[in-house]
Structure 1
Amino acid sequence: MKLKLIILALFFVNLFSAQKFFWPKAALSDSAILDKSISSIASRISENYKKPKRLDSLERSFKFDILAGNYKKSIATIQQYREAFADKNSASTKFINYELYAMAKDIEKNEKIDFSKALDKAFDIKCATLPSKYSFRIADVFVENIGKKRDNFKKALGSLKSDSINAQSAVGLGLSYLDYKTSSGIQHRINQLLAQKEKEKYIVETFDFKTKKGGTVAVTVTRDKNNKQPLPAILTNNIYAGSYDGALGKRAVAYDYVGVVVNTRGKRTSPDEIEPFEHEAEDLYDVIDWISKQSWNNGKVGMIGGSYLGFSQWAATKKMHPALKTVIPQVAVGIGIDYPMTNNVFMSYMLQWISYVTTNNLTDEEGFRNYKKWDSVNTAWYKSGKSFRNLDVFEGKKNKIFQRWLDHPAYDKFWKSMVPYKKEFAKINIPVLTTTGFYDADQLGALYYFKEYYKYNKNPNHYMIIGPYDHGGAQSYATNVLRGYTVDQAARINISDLAFSWFDYVMKNGKKPELLKDKVNVQIMDTNEWKHFPSLEASHNSTLKLYLTKGSETVQLLSKEKPANNDFIKQVIDFKDRDTKDAYYKYGKKDSLNITNMVIYQTPVLDKDIIINGAFEAKLKAEINKKDMDVIISLIQIQPDNEAFYLSNYLGRASYTKNREKRHLLKPGKVETVSIDNPTFVGKKIAKGSRLIVLLGINKTPEYQVNYGTGKDVSEETIADAAEPLEIKWFTDSYIELPILQ
């Protein structure tokens, strides 16, 4: 039955794609004919979305209804789209630009008034119905580049050469036309109306602040105009200076706090040099001290924010100020831990990010999102065989921040100076709430801080939330679908609401958030339940040890039994070869995994359900002909329906596995044990009928520096250092140990 439905759906897709519509050439020069023609075509296209259910279909449905003039229907479909989200409040401003445009067009049509007056009326109606804690987010929608939207539309229009247009081109033209028409038609006026409302509601002060060490940071304070009492302040330290700063301050006000946003040195109006990560520890102490002495503050300061903003909170705890009462580091960058290197392997992305935040005093959005450019930079460097030190040259110029970071391949004083180190964690005497996700790019950083806090602090008061979230979701709210996985209903929480409930708990004597039943709180995928543990170590109560044993020529085995004879699987990596075609393992009739530079190990089909909860560990017995290697391990589930699901991964430099602070080179020709203990944490029920796959191999991609194994600084190595290929013997008494919750 399922196959029949798929075939039927494909039939209708192909039928629609084959459609052609009349296109008058006069539409290219006459705006009235253009509008009428697109509206006519949109009416026919919208027939294909009569009963949309999927989010992408709902989106196209309401957009083509707007173009066709079906304004009320489009508004209802936008609301239907929002209803699909577990947290309706957080979705309340989704597509609000299209909604306001449709509302205004509907009012214009029915009340026979000018569009400008209709837009004002639509704005007032909509603002009156928005949840107060989310209304400030409207401003985030109206910062689009209208010129770019106009250019996109003109490009689509200019591609039409004949008197007909096929369905695919018609869809693209219609969407780009609506995009441009909506933003150009309402953005300027909506921003004026928002400014008026904000003037009525907020007191906003922006100024430069001099720190005791002579640095300058830009500070923005946002307060509720109607509040006269001192309140706790919520501080956010933000290197991504721009329009988002206003939203951060207004969010704090929405939850009945004062919002304070600091832009780091060199950002916004600061004349200083931009040096990411390096000054927060000293600057934030002075900012907190200043806040605590203001008449609008009651002497209590909390901090919040994700990624770099999460790192900043740990920086602020390096020297504790008595007014700092709590921090909520969300998806916190582990500087020197997971960025700009992962387990001591530098990533190419670091150059893209440095350019993003240092090109100007705000952010270089357009340059950062030019993914084709950055892919070509990384690929050109990789193909050239030049040292990683030269990556910035392929971007066009030497970058001193990039070069400075490369000077510190170990976790040394440079990185340690930015956040608490060892016994400094013992001095953190405030409650902490960490949020991260199984697929958060900075999960390793978040867990590093958590582990170190518990290791050195005698009275740890540190809670953690972790579940099926990515980098964005773990600092805002869950998506319905993540990496193809339909997220359990239990996991679909609003993390922003949770965070401010925590602030109320700590700084206003409120109730502790219900979800925080213990120190480690995990939403295990495919169980629809949260589990609560007193520590990371307690998050599993058993292990499954699987030996990496010999199998067939193409697929090796993951076995519970240790092999009687200690054999090995040989792998050869030729670093000189930069044109190797990707290799794939076909695990279904049509499905395959990329196994380039990997050895694949597989379990038999599981005869019962198991729950993996935690981070795997591995002991790799290996002999190589060089002094070092960068190891990759991926843990994958092949589900009973034969779909692959990535569970967890590891990338790290073998010479730093004993100690990230000091390199211990391997001895060529000697069997060594490489201990892996810092992969990503995952919680998931693995259903009976599944298979587990481990991909074990070596990094050789444009995304990371290439370790040629000479023992020299990897950033200095070139393809000339490759010499003979890397030969590895992976011995069969190697194993991976999975954390199991029974």
Structure 2
Amino acid sequence: MKIKLVIIVLFFINTMSAQKIYFSAKAANDSLILEKNISDFAAKSVGKYEKSKGLDSLEKQLKLEILAGRFKNAVTTIGKYRNVFANSKYACTRFVNYEIYALAKDIEKNERTVFPKALEKAFNIKYAELPEKYSFRVAEIFSEDIPLQRTKLKKGLMALKNDSIANAAALGLAMSYLDLKVSSQIQSKVTDLLILKDKERYTIESFNLKTSGGGNVEITIMRRKGNEKPLPVILTNNIYAGKYDYAVGKRAVAYDYVGVVVNTRGKRNSPDEIEPFEHESHDLYDVVDWISKQPWCNGKVGMIGGSYLGFSQWGAVKKLHPALKTIVPQVSVGIGIDYPMTNNVFMSYMLQWIAYVTNNKLTDESDFRNFAKWDSINTAWYKSGKSFRALNSVKGIRDKIFQRWLDHPSYDKFWKDMVPYKEDFSKINIPVLTTTGFYDDDQLGAMYYFREHLKYNKNANHYVVMGPYDHGGAQSYGVNILRGYKVDPVARINISDLAFSWFDYILKDGMKPELLKDKINIQIMDTNEWLHVPALEKSHNSKLKLYFTKKENEQLVLTKDKPGVLNSTKQIVDFKNRDDKDVYFKVGKSDSIKINNSLVYQTEVLDKDLIISGAFNAQIKAALNKKDMDITISLIQIKPDNKIFFLSDFLGRASYAENREKRRLLEPGKIETIPVVNSMFVSKKIPKGSKLVVILGVNKNSAYQVNYGTGKDVSEETIDDATEPLNIEWYNDSYIEIPTIEK
């Protein structure tokens, strides 16, 4: 009886998800019929989302309300979305394009005016409401790729057959239709209106500066109109040339500074070649020198920016100019550390990113956002078994920068010349504020600079703020929900406010930001508390040492007890097989973890609360039949309700585990000791009733190089080098050390 009931339920669910609704096939070629059908669909469908509080449902609700002509309702829903997403003051620009459109349509309807006039009125109303400090990036929202949106809509219209369409397809079609409609009807006009507002508020100048190294860089200066007194300058070095240049300049002005943005060589009007990362350590000294001599500068310069812009600041202090008084590197790319390789393993994403910044003088947004294209390139390369060097030729791409980077698999002079190295850090005596997050893609880079700075300069005036932020959040503001986790209220801070409070402290003799109670400031998830300590090693006071072992029934476990008898667990990875089927480790009734080419070790249920705080280390004892392998380790919490929560991970090449600068191949058949020392930092309370899970394995997918273990340059290896499968013996005296706080 139960089996029959399950079958009936599954049949009902599948029937509902595949339900067909009426939708005229003529809509594919008749815009009036299309609009009528979509409006009817929206009116019938919007009620499904009105009681939901999730972000995805709120987004669908607000868009369906606009399509159904319920414009005031849509504006209200946009406000609800912002409140759920983050502090609504910080998130004031989320869906601002849809908000202005809805306001304009409501004005058009109720005031019986033409849409262009209604749009201008709606824009002026909304612009007046936007807080200047938090709306600096509003112009970027009005730079959607309209041709790409049009192509997406056309693809959706291809599903219209026999006057019917699946409900899910209709929803997707409606969303695509609205996206294009909003962009095409308001984007150009609002952009013009924003330019007029900028002219009213700012003095903007742009010109080319020739550096002493022979390069040419584009400089844009933004000042508040009417303000003639010299001010400190906030400088940002930006390879992502475009409207973002004006955005960060406006932000500096909003906080009462002069904003200066320099574009790297080859960008905007620079005639040079675009060579990412290679010239900042030379060019930025000249840029700071020029700024410091201008009448609108009081002789003090600070730098800010995230990701590449964070890296740039470390490039700038390799040769420190006296006028550069402080830097605020956010989510800084650790060049050669975490990008374009992570612990010496090159990533496929590097090719997509290189195209993004080098295809033209600005940024190739359309190509970069074509994720299907890049996924197909990476998949085609992986399936082909060609060398990683051939990745750029899979679809006829030619890229010398990609090839140049691959020539440097060790952390060698090529990378070292771009940022401070060893003793260079000892000369950096200006205050530094680093921000990063537990889920920041460049956390390893940000923390590399911090550790090296403290290692070579014992008196370094360097502060760190870290919490439950991703790459975007740690350079903007904390959201309310991150990866399904409800972020503690104390962590929902505005990073821009923090940064400019820091600038006020250093450049204007203001008060030190209240959050910076000590050099290291870490938000411990699920405690609603910040941890303030003087040094990184003080972020924990104990370590949980767990051995990778197995019981007599072959179950793999993590145990505190060092095994009395040495034994091993065997794993086989066939690099010739490119038809990999995903393998999952099931947790509870509904959650699972992908464990391709990995083993799963887990603890017993915790009998007391545990606070993890820090980056785990591990010592892996293994014997294999190859000379190398790329190791993956993931640390995961299984919560008392059997839900999975990702904590931290590691990816690294075994032959570089001891020294990222020099490769030491493994000896086949010998039990090797492989240290793991550069994992992701996390801080979180793990309540009793939870389990800890460690997934230990070997990297083999399209996102990274495939290391076949021959000992040759991994970028040159092909599937022909796979020969026999990789055979690993993971020994039970291997262990992981998890930093903890014991109270």
Question: TM-score, with normalisation over the residues of structure 2?
Answer: 0.95
Contact 1:621-1:671 at 8 Å conserved across structures: yes
Structure 2 Cα separation of the partners of residues 24 and 415 of structure 1: 59
Aligned twin of 1:126: 126
Contact 2:25-2:164 at 8 Å conserved across structures: no
Moved more, 281-290 or 84-93: 84-93
Secondary structure of the structure 1 residue equivalent to 2:715: helix
Secondary structure of the structure 1 residue equivalent to 2:360: coil
Q: Give deviations 1:629-662, integer Å, cap 9, x for gaps.
A: 2111111111111111111111111121111111
Q: Match of 2:122, as an amino acid?
A: A
Moved more, 260-269 or 19-28: 19-28
Contact 1:466-1:522 at 8 Å conserved across structures: yes
Aligned twin of 1:666: 666
Contact 2:24-2:160 at 8 Å conserved across structures: no
Contact 2:137-2:244 at 8 Å conserved across structures: no
In the alignment, does 2:571 pair up with 1:540? Answer: no
Q: Match of 2:469, as an amino acid?
A: Y
Aligned twin of 1:6: none
Q: Match of 1:440, as an amino acid?
A: D
Structure 1 Cα separation of the partners of residues 673 and 696 of structure 2: 15
Structure 2 Cα separation of the partners of residues 147 and 727 of structure 1: 50
Q: Match of 2:143, as an amino acid?
A: V
Aligned twin of 1:384: 384
Q: Match of 1:427, as an amino acid?
A: K
Aligned twin of 1:647: 647
Structure 2 Cα separation of the partners of residues 245 and 13 of structure 1: 49
Aligned twin of 1:612: 612
Structure 2 Cα separation of the partners of residues 578 and 256 of structure 1: 57
Contact 1:555-1:602 at 8 Å conserved across structures: no
Q: Match of 1:69, as an amino acid?
A: G
Aligned twin of 2:94: 94
Contact 1:248-1:261 at 8 Å conserved across structures: yes
Q: Give deviations 1:531-587, integer Å, cap 9, x for gaps.
A: 111111000000111111123666311111111111122222222232343332223
In the alignment, does 2:446 pair up with 1:446? Answer: yes
Report 1:286-305 matches (<5 A): 286-305=286-305
Structure 2 Cα separation of the partners of residues 288 and 255 of structure 1: 20
C-alpha spacing 1:93/1:627, structure 2 compared with 1 (3 Å):
same
Secondary structure of the structure 1 residue equivalent to 2:285: helix
In the alignment, does 2:501 pair up with 1:462? Answer: no
C-alpha spacing 1:15/1:108, structure 2 compared with 1 (3 Å):
farther
Q: Match of 2:561, as an amino acid?
A: E
Structure 2 Cα separation of the partners of residues 32 and 395 of structure 1: 40
Q: Match of 2:187, as an amino acid?
A: Q
Structure 1 Cα separation of the partners of residues 741 and 469 of structure 2: 20
Contact 1:20-1:164 at 8 Å conserved across structures: yes
C-alpha spacing 1:584/1:125, structure 2 compared with 1 (3 Å):
closer
Secondary structure of the structure 2 residue equivalent to 1:716: coil
Contact 1:616-1:738 at 8 Å conserved across structures: yes
Report 1:127-146 matches (<5 A): 127-146=127-146
What stretches of structure 1 of length at least 5 have no aligned partner? 1-8
Aligned twin of 1:495: 495
Q: Match of 1:617, as an amino acid?
A: N
Structure 2 Cα separation of the partners of residues 239 and 691 of structure 1: 44
Shift of residue 379 of structure 1? Answer: 2.3
Contact 2:148-2:366 at 8 Å conserved across structures: no
What stretches of structure 2 of length at least 5 have no aligned partner? 1-8
C-alpha spacing 1:411/1:19, structure 2 compared with 1 (3 Å):
closer
Aligned twin of 1:368: 368
In the alignment, does 2:42 pair up with 1:38? Answer: no
C-alpha spacing 1:46/1:625, structure 2 compared with 1 (3 Å):
closer
Contact 1:86-1:489 at 8 Å conserved across structures: no
Contact 2:136-2:248 at 8 Å conserved across structures: no
Q: Match of 1:597, as an amino acid?
A: N
C-alpha spacing 1:315/1:44, structure 2 compared with 1 (3 Å):
same
Contact 1:86-1:493 at 8 Å conserved across structures: no
Aligned-pair identity in percent equals 66
Contact 1:574-1:725 at 8 Å conserved across structures: yes
C-alpha spacing 1:47/1:18, structure 2 compared with 1 (3 Å):
farther
Shift of residue 165 of structure 1? Answer: 5.0
Q: Match of 1:301, as an amino acid?
A: V
Q: Match of 2:117, as an amino acid?
A: K
Q: Give deviations 1:590-620, integer Å, cap 9, x for gaps.
A: 4332222112211111111100100111111
Moved more, 717-726 or 226-235: 717-726
Aligned twin of 1:573: 573
Aligned twin of 1:103: 103
Contact 2:633-2:696 at 8 Å conserved across structures: yes
Report 1:80-229 matches (<5 A): 80-164=80-164, 167-229=167-229
Question: TM-score, with normalisation over the residues of structure 1?
Answer: 0.95
Structure 2 Cα separation of the partners of residues 583 and 63 of structure 1: 37
Aligned twin of 1:736: 736
Structure 1 Cα separation of the partners of residues 23 and 600 of structure 2: 54
Shift of residue 21 of structure 1? Answer: 5.5
Structure 1 Cα separation of the partners of residues 461 and 731 of structure 2: 43
Shift of residue 36 of structure 1? Answer: 4.0
C-alpha spacing 1:76/1:414, structure 2 compared with 1 (3 Å):
same
C-alpha spacing 1:231/1:568, structure 2 compared with 1 (3 Å):
same
Shift of residue 33 of structure 1? Answer: 5.0
Structure 1 Cα separation of the partners of residues 581 and 159 of structure 2: 35
Structure 2 Cα separation of the partners of residues 19 and 626 of structure 1: 53
Secondary structure of the structure 2 residue equivalent to 1:75: helix
Aligned twin of 1:556: 556
Q: Give deviations 1:10-60, integer Å, cap 9, x for gaps.
A: 999989768766545665665555444433332222233343422222222
Structure 1 Cα separation of the partners of residues 242 and 423 of structure 2: 36
Structure 1 Cα separation of the partners of residues 34 and 79 of structure 2: 29
Structure 1 Cα separation of the partners of residues 31 and 350 of structure 2: 46
Structure 2 Cα separation of the partners of residues 448 and 560 of structure 1: 30
